[in-house]
């Protein structure tokens, strides 16, 4: 929807094909309770809009930002919620860059969908599925000229944008049209999610008592996300190999584990508005349409999760996806008339500005999964033997004690600055190592492994 609006505002005629047939609901409450979106596996899973989302909306889609706020989106200001251990609580110039506005996935999509359907130059067809790609060869390279729908209708286009997200079937469609195989890296992220949503009884969302939204608790992690209309979600994610903890799908055991976490139990102080919602089989997947110095096909662009998707616990998907869409608009402005050049330039933009974020996210996930597995099996936790690893391991704890490091952490969390760029700054590593000793195991209070197994038994 964002891609459609930005391209239309640049003077293009845009047609959006949406496989799911249901129309946009009348209200936020109906969207939450009744909107069926089978094409979006995470539609009622935890959702958060990082600060980078607000930056893109401020710059590109301020009307959508205002509509989100009018729909009840929450404003989250991490500097107003500094950890208790930080003594210097004064605001500084530039602190507003950390502020985000956020909402449930159902509310966010409702707002974007309404805006797109009211956008001049955008036509949205719901209940229409792409069955095949229309292609011919130009100088030996397949070139997309449009798509054919499941009803047999052929639609011509100068550019086809794959914004189908995690469920994108693009490689199969390309192979069916006779194109070469798409470069793809994919593996199960190794995590399972168990989420429950709540609504406030008194109009107040719980205040976080931890530096970041995600908190490691031994062999589990807990994710607490404020949301729109005085709602919030609490999520446990575990290793998919941890069979005993799969009992977190039961409401009573899920509630018991949250209640046993001293810094998170207060998130239960609300009215439940969902059961425990599980989600498994989450892929880390990356695709690239340029391989061995040539495009797989021209006349085509991948954006957002269709290009790369990861374990969503860091909430980077929409932050990177919206910026990716804005850069697509920029590339279309100057390169669309030469499809081959467009393919190379779009590949360079994606690789240069976004792939590093994907790699950093997967590295973070792999490190956390290895730690979870060690704690589950009773083996030694992975050691941070080099300085860089030690700094990364101790950084979240140090950020809870130092105002400069906390802001640096919020730059990473908000998708504003890459982790490697933060850690490379003068004095950051030294300050982290000075604040957190090698013998200190960063661990928020919560149940031990034995207590955890008892709680879910």
Domain range list for the chain: 129-187+282-358, 188-279, 380-456
146: β partners = 134, 156
Q: What is the mean pLDDT of residues 385-394?
A: 83
Instruction: State pLDDT tens for residues 187-204.
Output: 999 999 999 999 998 888
Q: What is the mean pLDDT of residues 441-457?
A: 87
Name the DSSP letter for residue 78.
Answer: G
Smallest CA-to-CA distance from 222 within 264, 184, 183 is with: 264
* C-beta separation of 428 from 408 below 8 A: yes
Range with lowest mean pLDDT among 47-56, 231-240, 315-324, 359-368: 359-368
Cα–Cα distance for residue pair 31/409, rounded to 1 Å: 34
**What spatial distance separates the first Cα and last Cα of the chain, rounded to whole Å?**
45
- The listed CATH number (3.30.9, 3.55.50, 2.30.30, 1.20.1070) that belongs to domain 188-279: 3.30.9
**In this structure, what is the dihedral angle of CA atoms 258, 264, 268, 274, given to the nearest 10 degrees?**
-70
Range with lowest mean pLDDT among 183-192, 208-217, 283-292, 362-371: 208-217
Q: What is the mean pLDDT of residues 9-22?
A: 97
Instruction: State pLDDT tens for residues 331-354.
Output: 999 999 999 999 999 999 999 999
Q: What is the pLDDT of residue 103?
A: 98
Superfamily of domain covering 129-187+282-358:
FAD/NAD(P)-binding domain (3.50.50.60)
Q: How many CB atoms lie within 10 A of CB 3?
A: 25
Q: What is the pLDDT of residue 442?
A: 60
| 176 CA to centre of own chain | 30
Average pLDDT, the chain: 94
277: β partners = 195
User: What's the predicted TM-score (pTM) here?
Assistant: 0.94
pLDDT over threshold 80, residue 429:
yes
Cα–Cα distance for residue pair 123/5, rounded to 1 Å: 10
Q: What is the pLDDT of residue 290?
A: 96
Range with lowest mean pLDDT among 32-36, 141-145, 170-174, 376-380: 376-380
Q: What is the pLDDT of residue 404?
A: 97
pLDDT over threshold 80, residue 439:
no
* C-beta separation of 283 from 191 below 8 A: no
């Amino acid at each position: 929807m964002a891609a459609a609006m930005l391209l239309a505002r640049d003077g293009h005629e845009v047609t959006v094909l949406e496989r799911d047939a249901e129309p946009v609901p009348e209200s936020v409450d109906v969207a939450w309770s009744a909107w069926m979106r089978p094409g979006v596996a995470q539609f009622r899973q935890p959702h958060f809009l990082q600060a980078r989302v607000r930056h893109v909306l401020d710059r590109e889609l301020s009307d959508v930002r205002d509509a989100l706020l009018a729909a009840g989106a929450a404003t989250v200001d991490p500097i107003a919620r500094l950890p208790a251990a930080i003594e210097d609580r004064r605001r500084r110039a530039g602190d507003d860059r950390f502020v985000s506005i956020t909402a449930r996935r159902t509310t966010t999509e409702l707002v974007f969908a309404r805006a797109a359907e009211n956008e001049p130059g955008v036509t949205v067809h719901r209940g229409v599925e792409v069955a095949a790609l229309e292609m011919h060869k130009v100088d030996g390279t397949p070139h997309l000229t449009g798509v054919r729908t499941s009803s047999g209708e052929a639609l011509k286009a100068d550019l086809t944008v794959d914004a189908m997200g995690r469920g994108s079937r693009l490689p199969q469609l390309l192979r069916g049209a006779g194109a070469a195989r798409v470069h793809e890296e994919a593996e199960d992220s190794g995590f399972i999610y168990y989420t429950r949503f709540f609504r406030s009884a008194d109009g107040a969302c719980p205040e976080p008592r931890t530096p970041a939204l995600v908190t490691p608790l031994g062999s589990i992690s807990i994710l607490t996300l404020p949301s729109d209309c005085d709602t919030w979600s609490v999520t446990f994610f575990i290793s998919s190999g941890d069979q005993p903890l799969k009992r977190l799908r039961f409401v009573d055991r899920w509630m018991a584990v949250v209640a046993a976490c001293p810094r998170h139990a207060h998130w239960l102080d609300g009215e439940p508005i969902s059961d425990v919602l599980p989600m498994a089989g989450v892929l880390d997947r990356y695709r690239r349409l340029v391989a061995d110095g040539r495009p797989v096909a021209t006349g085509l662009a991948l954006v957002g999760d269709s290009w790369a998707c990861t374990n969503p616990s860091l909430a980077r998907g929409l932050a990177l996806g919206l910026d990716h869409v804005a850069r697509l608009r920029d590339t279309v402005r100057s390169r669309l008339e030469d499809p081959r050049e467009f393919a190379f330039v779009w590949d360079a933009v994606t690789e240069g500005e976004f792939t590093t974020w994907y790699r950093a996210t997967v590295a973070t996930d792999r490190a956390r999964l290895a730690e979870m597995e060690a704690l589950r099996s009773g083996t030694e936790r992975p050691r941070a033997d080099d300085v860089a690893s030690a700094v990364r391991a101790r950084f979240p704890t140090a950020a809870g004690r130092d105002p400069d490091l906390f802001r640096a952490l919020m730059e990473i969390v908000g998708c504003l600055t890459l982790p490697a760029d933060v850690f490379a700054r003068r004095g950051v590593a030294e300050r982290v190592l000075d604040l957190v000793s090698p013998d200190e195991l960063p661990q928020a209070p919560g149940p031990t492994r034995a207590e955890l197994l008892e709680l879910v038994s």
